[in-house]
Amino acid sequence: MKRDLKTILLICLFLVFLLFPALWPDPYLLHLMILFFLFAVLVSNWNILFGYMGIFCFGQQAFFGIGAYGSALFALKLGVPIPLAMVMGGILAMLSSVLIGLPSLRLRGAYVALVTLAFAEVMRMICSNWVDVTRGQLGLTVPALFPGAGRIGFYYASYLLLLISTVILVKLMWSSFGYVTVAIRESQEAASSLGIDIVKYKILAFMLSSFMSGIAGAFYSHYILILTPDIMGLHTMISILVMGMLGGIGTLEGPILGTFVLIFLSEYLRGFGQFRFIVYGGLIVLSVLFIPGGLVTVVRWVETRLKEFGRR
């Protein structure tokens, strides 16, 4: 019963998103959906490190930014075709994650948070100071991925990206890899005493997570068309953090749900004018005080209620 209900719901959701541009062709709504898809990829991949593996990665914005700048610069300076440049941006982000993943292997918890954050800040400041290449704060103008097709083409491209990322994550987390990551999170010592190669798994997790984040960044750069170093700022990381935690970290659906709610919530709150972010911050605080497990717990609660209802 439960399995079926969930499958039906997922198929409905898939179809709604698929038909969305036909049902609501409002360009602004499409813009928000595109942002949702890209951030959902970013946040769910951060969640592999933070939620599943317990690596306090506070530098995910660097992977996003490296992917964005990397892809833009490959396309602009070297004339690489854009789709290839995007993959190269992702690979660049992946390589950078090895660079920062290795020193943080020896570290625990909070220290990893700092090393990754420091790395992101260094990257942001390099992009901001290396004006000859990145144009710094003036902003880099990036060629579009679909010059003619407009938003709808991009909508489907980013939707596809989210689907691919989610399928990879679901497959991975339900495989032995998923169990190993959780084992590492719960106790490194116990995991390594069972013969798990912690270094290998951590680096693999870093590489996967940063590659997908870099690709999301590359999509973002060829969509938004102007890049400033601010996308690697602390506030991007804070958005990732809030989206992930509000949804519920350590679960597959939580980050996607959190991203969706926060992107549309912050748009809805535009009606509050200058009080917008006061309400936004206040709501975050209240949600932690009243739903400490994240929005996922609400979904789970509804799910069990439905199951009981079906049994009756």
Partner 1 sequence: MFDLDVLIQQVVYGLVIGSSYVLMAAGFSLIWGMMGVLNLAHGEFYMLGAYVAYYASSLLGFNPIISSLAAILAIFFFGVLFERSLLSPIYGKPGWETNTVLVTVGASIFLQNVALVVFGEKYKGLPQYFEGDLEIWKIVLSYDRLVVFSVGCFLIAFLWYFMKYTRVGMAMRAISQNRDGASLAGVNVRRIFYVAFGLSAAFAAAAGALLAPIFFVYPTVGTGPLLMAFAIVIFGGLGSVKGAIYAGFLVGVFESLIVLIVSSAWKDVFVFILVIIILTARPRGLFGIREE
> Which of residues 234, 261, 269, 299 is near partner 1 by CB under 8 A?
234
Nearest residue to 270 (alpha-carbon basis) of 281, 280, 284:
280
Is there binding between residue 301 and partner 1 (CB under 8 A)? no
Smaller CB separation from partner 1, 86 or 246: 246
Q: Which residues pair with 141 in a beta bridge?
A: 226
Q: How far is the CB of 217 from partner 1 (least distance, A)?
A: 21
Among 67-75, 81-89, 174-182, 234-242, the segment contacting partner 1 (CB under 8 A): 234-242
Is there binding between residue 241 and partner 1 (CB under 8 A)? yes
Is there binding between residue 242 and partner 1 (CB under 8 A)? yes
- For 153, residues 6+ apart whose C-beta sits below 8 A from its C-beta are 145, 146
Is there binding between residue 25 and partner 1 (CB under 8 A)? no
Smaller CB separation from partner 1, 64 or 119: 119
Q: How far is the CB of 106 from partner 1 (least distance, A)?
A: 5
Is there binding between residue 24 and partner 1 (CB under 8 A)? no
Is there binding between residue 268 and partner 1 (CB under 8 A)? no
> Which of residues 7, 9, 23, 108 is near partner 1 by CB under 8 A?
108
Smaller CB separation from partner 1, 284 or 306: 284
Q: How far is the CB of 115 from partner 1 (least distance, A)?
A: 6
Q: How far is the CB of 209 from partner 1 (least distance, A)?
A: 18
> Which of residues 48, 55, 75, 115 is near partner 1 by CB under 8 A?
115
> Which of residues 282, 302, 307, 310 is near partner 1 by CB under 8 A?
282
Per rule CB under 8 A, count of chain residues that contact partner 1: 40
